[in-house]
């Protein structure tokens, strides 16, 4: 009983713990430090390796102690090795965001949040995605199926969870890109299966694993060369979610012809630290319980 209030800032809605996705945005305001996010990709033009990191801090909760408002930022170091031309390396864009969870229904394990995100070209221009500051909105939501009836066969659907986002990031100046993106995550929680549906005898660490697949879409709806074709990939993976951290690994599979040149092979990873479970003093807030 003492674990749930502490873990509320780590993706808990009702009785369901949502994982931190590899590509999609996490809808839940949280105290988290993505200490390392490695990604290796082989494309038609060469290879790219990046190490990202991000931090998020909950600044406000409601009268029931549920996290409602958070802010955060992220950046990454990028190394590009093209087939032609010299190698390039440096830091990419600085991303800042503010997140507000405006609808939480714990009984139905449902949450919706709104994010304002900003990209600032503060790194090496040769590896940055954007050369002008961008600012735009994003809508995020998540829903688990724990409210399904606990009937034979149907109850084994209850560990399924869904997370999604859709965002638009236009540039504030210059003849440059305006990006549209959307993601859908489908996950199956073995902890929820063991604790809330049926204990099938799994032992740690198997008991704490999540199986998931993300569908990731991105497209330049406006840019120097006009509109681009949609980039559509699947990101299947597996995650271990513990009390103090999450470790995830996955790969990417192109789903349409436009995404094949940019995704010949890919490996993604994540080490996410729930820092307020290690340093309780970090759980301070500006308002709320």
**pTM (predicted TM-score):** 0.90
pLDDT surpasses 80 at 124: yes
pLDDT, mean of residues 90-99: 94
56: domain CATH number? 2.40.160.40
Position 225 scores a pLDDT of 53
Q: Which residue has the higher pLDDT, 126 or 214?
A: 214
pLDDT of residue 258: 87
Pick the closest to residue 244 from 206, 276, 282, 281 (CA basis).
276
Kindly indicate the confidence band of residue 6, based on its pLDDT and cuts at 50, 70 and 90.
very low
Question: Of 57-66, 135-144, 258-267, where does the model show the most confidence?
Answer: 135-144
Specify the pLDDT at position 136. Answer: 95
Percent of the chain with pLDDT over 90: 65
Query: pLDDT value at position 4?
Result: 41
Tell me what the mean pLDDT of segment 34-46 comes to.
Answer: 92
The pLDDT of residue 26 is: 95
215, part of any domain: yes
97 pLDDT band (50/70/90 cuts)? very high
What per-residue confidence (pLDDT) applies to 159?
Answer: 96
pLDDT at 7: 37
Count: domains in the chain: 1
**Mean per-residue pLDDT over the chain, rounded:** 90
What is residue 253's predicted lDDT score, i.e. its pLDDT?
A: 95
Find the domain containing 66 and state its range: 3-283
Read off the pLDDT of each residue in 117-137 and give the average, rounded to a whole number.
86
Is residue 204 assigned to a domain? Answer: yes
Residue 256, domain member (yes or no): yes
pLDDT tens-digit map of 45-81: 899 999 999 999 999 999 888 999 999 999 999 999 9
Residue 289 included in any domain:
no
pLDDT-based confidence at residue 226 (cuts at 50, 70, 90): low
Residue 277 clears pLDDT 60, i.e. is over it = yes
Overall average pLDDT of the 158-172 stretch:
94
Task: Tell me, yes or no, whether 147 lies in a domain.
Answer: yes
């Amino acid at each position: 009983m003492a674990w749930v209030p502490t873990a509320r800032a780590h993706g808990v809605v009702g009785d369901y713990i949502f994982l931190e996705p590899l590509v999609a945005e996490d809808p839940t305001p949280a105290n988290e430090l993505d200490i390392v996010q490695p990604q290796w990709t082989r494309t038609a033009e060469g290879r790219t390796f990046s190490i990202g990191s991000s931090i998020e801090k909950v600044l406000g909760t409601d009268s029931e102690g549920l996290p409602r408002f958070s802010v955060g930022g992220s950046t990454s170091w990028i190394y590009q090795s093209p087939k032609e031309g010299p190698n390039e390396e440096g830091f990419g864009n600085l991303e800042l965001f503010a997140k507000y969870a405006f609808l939480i229904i714990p009984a139905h394990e449902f949450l919706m949040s709104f994010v304002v995100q900003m990209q600032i070209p503060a790194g090496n221009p040769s590896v940055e995605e954007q050369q002008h500051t961008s600012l735009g909105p994003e809508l995020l939501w998540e829903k688990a199926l724990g409210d399904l009836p606990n009937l034979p066969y149907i109850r084994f659907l209850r560990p399924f969870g869904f997370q999604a986002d859709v965002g638009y990031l236009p540039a504030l100046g210059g003849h440059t890109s305006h990006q549209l993106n959307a993601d859908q995550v489908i996950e199956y929680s073995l902890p929820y299966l063991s604790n809330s549906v049926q204990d099938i005898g799994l032992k740690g660490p198997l008991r704490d694993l999540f199986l998931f697949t993300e569908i990731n879409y991105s497209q330049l709806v406006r840019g120097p060369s006009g509109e681009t074709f949609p980039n559509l990939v699947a990101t299947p993976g597996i995650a271990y979610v513990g009390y103090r951290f999450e470790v995830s690994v996955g790969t990417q599979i192109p789903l349409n012809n436009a995404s094949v040149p940019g995704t010949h092979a890919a490996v993604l990873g994540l080490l996410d630290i729930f820092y307020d479970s290690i340093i309780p003093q970090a759980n301070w807030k500006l308002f709320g319980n």
